[in-house]
């Protein structure tokens, strides 16, 4: 949330107040009304008679929009030289500056925010959106610890004190330099494999997929056998080097590849298997890392589901030895889709195979420019080693296999 100070501190003790400006409040209010109107109109249009599910969807969207509006209208932070008062959607907190354990500054493309935490054992905390002018707040926070800096320093000291890197300080420092290079190389390699599958999916495809599949258990095995030097996830409370890039980036890349693969027909059927595989992998990671934050667990679980699903689809393809069926269908249209960031090439063919087969196929540029309207295109369907059907395409060759047409 972009916020701005609406008053400045003066010698008489007036507080510096940070809250959303009038323009932003107005825009958010208009946006909330529009969301509710679109939800109500859309559900009524979809079902003129109305039903409980449409009504529930409208209520949920209206509730989310209302909370968003309240969050913008009500959140306010008032600062005095040594005290503060925060008003949220449902709570109001106040206290002295020395009662704060510190703050964290979070910045992303979607916005920035400050998170404040009280000294333990007080578990209270609150957050406020980023400010268009942070000078007054930065001055007020000059004596408040930056918890991001505190965590980085604690992590660095913990690594230098970790006995797994050596019996004395000098050996540990030398070993850390060496092991940082190893983890850096492994993480960069994992990220590179993922990026290859995302941006160059049609070149050395099987090699990149197999490498991604090996990276996930490989990173876990390296962490498990490192003697306490490596962890799979990152946590400032664990003085170990992380292999998150080597494990999770290839998992996301593999899942992303099959999510975009038009030749995968029964991908949803593999989700239960993927969930079971991700659960087993998650147990292994918890045993290796011992301590994991809730956010890290959620991120790891999502990556593992994507990787397990992609791995199941890859093995289903590679281990498929059942007879395939070839269909021929004439090309009826060629289409290029240019979004500005990427260009996609599509070939539209006449209906073929079973009714659920796609008639618009995304192809590589080489195939696209060699194709002509009226030519026949051959689609080969495979039953899959695990029963998850998939198909591949090619140009029909003279004297090729027997063609079954619809």
Structure tokens at 345: 């090439």
Indicate the number of domains in the chain: 3
**Are residue 10 and residue 142 in the same domain, yes or no?**
yes
Q: Are residues 194 and 339 in the same domain?
A: no
Report if residue 346 sits inside a domain.
Answer: yes
Task: Return the residue matching tokens 């962490």.
Answer: 223
pTM: 0.72
Confidence of residue 404 (pLDDT cuts 50, 70, 90): very low
User: Distance between CA atoms of 377 and 256, rounded to whole angstroms?
Assistant: 26
pLDDT of residue 1: 40
- What mean pLDDT is predicted for residues 140-149? 89
Within 8 A by CB and 6+ apart from 292, the residues are 233, 235, 285, 286, 300
Q: What share of the chain in percent tops pLDDT 70? A: 84
Please check whether residues 178 and 210 belong to one and the same domain: yes
| High-pLDDT (> 90) share of the chain, % | 30
Is residue 78 domain-shared with residue 140, that is, in the same domain? yes
User: Of 148, 168, 190, which residue sits at a domain end?
Assistant: 148
Going by pLDDT thresholds of 50, 70 and 90, the confidence category of residue 14 is: confident
In tens, the pLDDT along 108-143 reads 665 678 889 998 888 888 888 765 555 678 788 888
Structural domain includes residue 66:
yes
- DSSP 3-state assignment of 156? helix
Rounded to the nearest integer, the mean pLDDT of the chain is: 82
In this structure, of 58-72, 176-190, 201-215, the range with the lowest mean pLDDT score is 58-72
Domain range holding 263? 157-318
Same domain, 179 and 164: yes
For residue 362, count CB atoms less than 10 angstroms from its CB and return exposed for 0-12, middle for 13-18, buried for 19 or more.
middle
For 129, half-sphere exposure in the C-beta direction (CA atoms, 13 angstrom radius) is 22
Spell out a b/e string for 299-318, using b for 16 or more CB atoms within 10 Å of the CB, else e: ebbebbbbbbbbbbbbbbbe
10 domain residue, yes or no: yes
Q: Is residue 402 part of a domain?
A: no
* Domain contains 404: no
In a domain, 361, yes or no: yes
Is residue 280 located within the same domain as residue 242?
Answer: yes
Q: Which domain-ending residue is among 287, 318, 349? A: 318
Q: Domain check: are 171 and 27 in the same one?
A: no
Q: Examine residue 337 and state whether it is found in any structural domain, yes or no.
A: yes
Same-domain check for residues 59 and 172 = no
In this prediction, residue 42 has a pLDDT band, given cuts at 50, 70 and 90, of low
Q: Residue 55: its pLDDT value, please?
A: 63
- Are residues 208 and 69 located together in one domain of the fold? no
Cα–Cα distance for residue pair 336/346, rounded to 1 Å: 6
Mean pLDDT of 74-97: 86
Say yes or no: 172 and 88 in one domain: no
CATH number where 118 lies: 2.30.29.30
> End of a domain among 148, 169, 193?
148
Non-local CB neighbours of 354 within 8 Å, separated by 6+ positions: none
Q: Do residues 224 and 135 share a domain?
A: no
At 134 the pLDDT is 58
**77 in helix, strand or coil?**
strand
- pLDDT at position 400, please? 42
The residue among 322 and 184 whose pLDDT is bigger is 184
Question: From CA 334, how far away is CA 361, in angstroms rounded?
Answer: 10
Residue 184 sits in the same domain as residue 142: no
Q: How far apart are CA 155 and CA 119, in angstroms?
A: 20
- Model confidence over 351-380: pLDDT tens digits? 888 888 888 888 888 888 888 888 888 888
Is 214 part of any domain?
A: yes
């Amino acid at each position: 949330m972009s916020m701005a100070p609406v008053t400045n501190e003066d010698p008489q003790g007036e507080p510096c107040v940070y809250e959303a400006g009038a323009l932003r409040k107005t825009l958010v209010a208009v946006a909330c009304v529009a969301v509710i109107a679109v939800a109500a109109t859309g559900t009524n249009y979809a079902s003129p008679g109305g039903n409980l599910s449409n009504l529930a969807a409208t209520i949920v969207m209206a509730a989310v929009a209302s909370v968003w509006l309240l969050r913008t209208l009500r959140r306010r932070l008032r600062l005095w030289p040594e005290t503060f008062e925060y008003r949220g959607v449902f709570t109001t907190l106040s206290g002295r500056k020395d009662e704060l354990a510190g703050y964290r500054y979070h910045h992303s493309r979607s916005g920035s925010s400050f998170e404040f935490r009280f000294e333990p054992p007080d578990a209270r905390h609150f957050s406020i959106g980023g400010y268009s002018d942070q000078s007054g707040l930065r001055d007020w926070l000059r004596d408040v610890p930056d918890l991001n800096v505190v965590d980085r320093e604690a992590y660095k000291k913990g690594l230098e004190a970790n006995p797994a890197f050596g019996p004395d300080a000098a050996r540990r420092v030398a070993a850390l330099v060496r092991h940082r290079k190893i983890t850096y190389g492994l993480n960069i390699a994992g990220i590179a494999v993922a990026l290859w599958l995302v941006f160059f999916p049609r070149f050395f495809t099987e090699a990149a997929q197999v490498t991604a599949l090996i990276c996930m258990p490989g990173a876990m095995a390296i962490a498990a056998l490192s003697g306490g030097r490596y962890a799979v996830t990152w946590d400032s409370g664990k003085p170990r080097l992380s292999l998150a890039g080597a494990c999770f980036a290839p998992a996301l890349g593999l899942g992303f590849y099959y999510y975009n693969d038009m030749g995968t027909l029964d991908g949803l059927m593999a989700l239960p298997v993927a969930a079971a595989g991700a659960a087993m992998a998650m147990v292994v990671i918890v045993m290796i890392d011992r301590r994991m934050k809730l956010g890290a667990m959620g991120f790891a679980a999502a990556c593992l589901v994507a990787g397990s699903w992609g791995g199941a689809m890859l093995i289903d393809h590679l281990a498929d030895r059942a007879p395939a069926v070839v269909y021929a269908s004439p090309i009826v249209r060629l289409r290029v889709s240019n979004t500005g960031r990427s260009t996609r090439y599509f070939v539209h063919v006449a209906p073929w195979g079973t009714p659920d087969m796609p008639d618009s196929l995304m192809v590589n540029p080489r195939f696209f420019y060699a194709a002509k309207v009226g030519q026949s295109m051959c689609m080969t369907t495979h039953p899959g080693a695990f029963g998850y059907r998939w198909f591949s395409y090619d140009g029909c060759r003279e004297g090729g296999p027997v063609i079954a047409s619809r």
